[in-house]
A and B are shown apart, each in its own frame.
Chain A
Amino acid sequence: MAVSNGRLVRKKDLETKRINLIINGQPYDLEVGSGSHQVDPAHTLAHTLRETLGLIGTKVSCDMGACASCTVLMDGKAVLSCMILTVECQGKEITTIEGLRDPKTGRLDPLQQAFIDHTAFQCGFCTPGIIMSAKALLSENPSPTEEEIKEALSGHFCRCISHYQVIKAILGASEKVRGDRDGR
């Protein structure tokens, strides 16, 4: 893996057997191949994030697109990283849970703070995925209703049953998002 200095190569990527993508604001230039440092064409985005790049905040639970625990943002939309091959991510912009804090100040995203304030998790394994889906929701719809939140999170498996506290946290964060905007 090599990081190109902010340059994004878009042409003939597969021919040159390289994948360029941006993860949490940082450009990555990944080689395609079967070495341990390379991206195998069979690798899922979840695998590349976790095993190749060490971004372990993205959690894999079912690894077959059923539980949404591995959710990340791709060009701002929530996607299941266990159902996407890394070689399909050419030129995409990916955000993982590690990329949610303000990179300069380290300040938590209001959603992350709301999850802390409401203890909107128990074991916490499914939490990164849920937060990423909630982030995609609030980006599109800053003031969702409870029903809209449930719809947006309908694919997420949370076995401890923190659903009720998650909904409260997202409603809280959405108000905060509104509050911050109005305050400016």
Chain B
Amino acid sequence: MAGKYRFIGKATPRKDAMDIVTGRARFLNDLRLPDMLYGKVLRSPYPHAIIKKIDKRKAERLRGVKAILTCEDVPDWKGGTPRFARVLDRKVRFTGDAVALIAAESEEIAREAIGLIDVEYEVLPAVFDVEEALKPGAPQLYDEFPGNVVTPGTPFFGPECLKELIMGDVEKGFAEADVVAEGTFSFENIPNPLPPEAPGVIALWEEPNRVTLWVSNQFPYMDKITLFHVFGREVEVRTIGLPCGGSYGSKLMSWQIQSYAVLLSRATGKPVKMVMTKEEHLAAFTLRPGSRMHAKVGLKKDGTVTAVSGKWFIDTGYYSMTTQAQVAVALGEVQIMVRCPNWDLRPVIVCTNRNASGIVRGFGGQELKCTLVPILSLAMTKLDMDPFEFFKKNYIKPGDGYFWRDGNWYTCRGVDFTKAMDKGAEVFGWKEKWKGWLRPTAVNGTKRIGVGVGVHGNADIGEDASEAYVRLHPDGTAMLFSCVTEHGTGQRSNYVKMVAEVLQLPMERISGAPSDSLVNPYEFGPAGSRGTYAIGSAVIRAAEDAKRRLFEIFAPKLKVKPEDLETEDGEVFVRDNPEKRLPWKAMGVDRTITGYGRFDPDYTLTNCMMTFVEVEVDTETGKVTLLKAVNATDVGQIIDPQGLEGQLNGCLGSAGIDSAIFEETIIDRYTGHMLNSNMIDYKWRTFLELPQIENVVLETPFPSHRFHAVGVGEIATSPGPSAVLMAVANAIGTWLHEYPVTPERVLKALGKVMSKVRKGA
């Protein structure tokens, strides 16, 4: 493909690179508005309680305090799916739930005021385990959800939203199987993706019912829509997206802190900034859903899956906003990983008294795979079947179909990923390292080496709608209007690069409009790896539309038909007679040309990421060390090689592979307090512990847009965790049934310690 494109596929500096390396990049907390107040939250010390009385008089008398709001002072605004979680409620449902909101002239004063509010609670029993929460007599979190079950909730993706996966005849499928295996695995360590920038917002209310929010979110336009509904569809919401200091999915939704700031601004008439402390970020912001599965699978000798049946418990914490959506997508994704005609997989979404679950990279699919892949592995073990061969055989091929999140059946028209998988296996050395199930690759004294493999992909790369404008200026520059913030993927620059390629205009001459919902058209936002195909398509079409309009204006001037024209470096010329050319300025200096592009959802393309891992297990200490990871994918066409490398290396952090090895939140099951809500006790990988990573990226042209590319950033974290569990099992000869593979769990599996292993959240 070399030489095919002038910009696409080339390493180019990020548009925001200069701001980032000089410290000029303005993240949310770097912004200060005149007369701005600072907001803080009084949070519940109990996991489940009724608020009997709040006395805020003492706090209100503190100099500099401008407003204190409790559930009695605020409108009945609600979020959640269905909409049942009040912004401030009389009942608190987790340790950290909001009790009162404070606005003051400084953060110090707001903090001091928190301590002056007296609250009388009636403490209720709490429940922290999904299956305990389902038992008769368990503490009930909401009157609206008897038995703590929020399934199926309000359909998130329309009336036919995928809520369970039932098709074919599982009994017949099990009868046809050569082996059947059954097991229970859980991925309930509930890690925090933990972006360095804590969630925050600045809100400015204007009478009578208009509010502007400066957000540090991944979805600035959707914030506007989400909040519009939370605020009872009576408030005009404008959102301005700032650079986002990491999200990994988690900052797709920050409706609660956003609502708090809006209420405080409404009460004071002043702009209010609220930024979570790191402790709040860990202990009170949304986390990954918990996942536990009891399932049975049937396989034939050749690796054909004949049936899958089981119950999937999803712990959504104290409320659910997007969990139903994550379940729907996960149920679609599991069909992309495993071709099987007979399914009976029934999810149940359960409320418990811990932080709410929200969106994290992997979006349900990672949670599901972390529990189902080990059960499939139990069946593969009986057949002595190589898991790499199993995944290669079962992963979706063009022409195969699946039910996707909206409940409709789609036929895949993408590419065959076999070549990428084979190349990944070759680079990793899978054939040499794979010694069979529960057999180590090597044993060096007390240390054992094991290998594992996982795979993940979605049909979300074409999900949801996008719109964009491209505006051409007579001075030979252009501007892209797309309501996307830069959250680390480099996509804001990549869209400029796409416009540059369409217009043959250097990237330096193209700027991006601020991600302000007031000036940009509809944009769902970059998620689910949809940025490259979905948003990219809207951007490309807008640039093509602008170019078409440009040629219509220039055709009479150059006395040719519009289709005979080309443009390059801000000049229009006749294709067959390049001497005949005019600068864009000839459009007239009193004119701009605006092109519009739209993308409508397309669920017929899938992406794929296969991750191979090699771990070393110290059987004396129980420590698991990741030695090597190889990611194999096919992206159709690389847009930016360095940006892509960063995204793929991201497989480790942000609730990826490391959430299988050492990352977990630990909640005290008596008090509901998170015990490691700081960055010393919550473990993360340092520079000294980097494994070797190799990324295998193929470029088989996809039938996507004019550059034949698809996105893979979001899925980079997802195949790794189950591969780690598999690698550890192979190293030590026995399965661990929970994540992460901490030393105590490994030693327990080895029979070296007998103590009961504590569980995360």
Contact = CB atoms under 8 A, between A and B. Distances in A.
A108 B22 contact: yes
A123 B13 contact: no
Given A64-B680, A161-B649, A165-B645, A125 B687 contact: no
Interface in B1-33: 11, 13-14, 16-18, 20-27, 29-30
B642 A161 contact: no
A70 to B, nearest CB: 11
A66 B679 CA distance: 6
A113 B486 CA distance: 20
A161 B687 contact: no
Interface in B210-242: none
A131 B22 CA distance: 10
Given A61-B198, A164-B649, A122 B490 contact: yes
Interface in A16-48: 36
A54 to B, nearest CB: 8
Interface residues of B, number: 57
Interface string B659-698: 0000000000000000000111000101110100100000
B646 A161 contact: yes
A66 B687 contact: no
A63 interface: yes
Contact of B17 (A116, A154, A157, A164): A116
B651 A161 contact: yes
Contact of B21 (A66, A108, A161): A108
A125 B646 contact: no
Given A62-B679, A116-B21, A161-B646, A123 B245 contact: yes
Interface in B256-278: 277-278
A64 B106 CA distance: 20
A26 B53 CA distance: 54
Contacts of B512: none
Identify whether the interface residues of B are mostly helix, strand, loop, or mixed: loop
Interface stretch (A6-14, A83-91, A96-104, A175-183): A96-104
B31 to A, nearest CB: 9
Contacts of A112: 21-22
B583 interface: no
Contacts of B30: 50, 56
B197 A125 contact: yes
Contact of A57 (B24, B245, B647, B651): B24
Interface in A154-184: 154-165, 167
Nearest to B684: A157
B195 A122 contact: no
Contacts of A149: 687
A74 interface: no
21 contacts: A56-B26, A59-B196, A59-B245, A60-B29, A61-B196, A61-B197, A67-B196, A100-B22, A113-B21, A115-B20, A116-B17, A118-B642, A123-B486, A124-B16, A125-B197, A128-B21, A161-B652, A163-B649, A163-B690, A164-B693, A165-B646
Contacts of B18: 116
A67 B679 contact: yes
B22 to A, nearest CB: 6
A58 interface: yes
Given A123-B244, A161-B649, A161-B652, A97 B13 contact: no
A136 B680 CA distance: 24
A104 B489 CA distance: 34
Contacts of A75: none
Contact of B278 (A63, A98, A121, A126): A63
A108 B464 CA distance: 41
Interface of A: 36, 50, 55-64, 66-67, 69, 96-98, 100-101, 108, 112-113, 115-119, 121-128, 131, 149-151, 153-165, 167
A98 B22 contact: yes
B487 interface: yes
B248 interface: yes
A85 to B, nearest CB: 15
Contacts, number: 164
Contacts of B680: 64, 66
Given A57-B24, A159-B194, 5 more contacts: A59-B27, A62-B679, A123-B486, A124-B488, A161-B649
Nearest to A123: B488
A68 B106 CA distance: 25
Contacts of A151: 687-688
B152 interface: no
B688 A150 contact: yes
Contacts of A165: 642, 645-646, 649
Nearest to B21: A112
B155 interface: no
Most buried by A among B26, B29, B246: B246
Contacts of B387: none
Nearest to B19: A124
A68 B198 CA distance: 15
B650 interface: yes
A158 B20 CA distance: 14
A87 B195 CA distance: 31
A108 B243 CA distance: 22
Contacts of B490: 119, 122
Given A64-B678, A64-B679, A96-B23, A160 B246 contact: yes
Contacts of A57: 22-24
B654 A159 contact: yes
B760 interface: no
Contacts of A56: 23, 26, 30
A97 B23 contact: yes
A122 B647 contact: yes
3 closest pairs, A vs B, by CB? A57-B23, A125-B245, A123-B488
B450 interface: no
Interface in B508-555: none
B488 A160 contact: yes
A119 B688 contact: no
Contacts of B310: none
Contacts of B22: 57, 97-98, 100-101, 108, 112
A56 B25 CA distance: 9
Interface in B178-196: 193-196
B314 to A, nearest CB: 25
A160 B642 contact: no
A127 B679 contact: no
A162 B494 CA distance: 18
A159 B646 contact: no
Contacts of B245: 59, 123-125
Contacts of B244: 123
Nearest to A133: B687
A125 B17 contact: no
A63 B653 contact: no
B643 interface: yes
Nearest to A151: B688
Given A59-B196, A124-B243, A125-B197, A161 B653 contact: yes
Contacts of A128: 21, 23
Nearest to A166: B687
Given A161-B646, A161-B652, A156 B687 contact: yes
Nearest to A124: B20
A115 B13 CA distance: 10
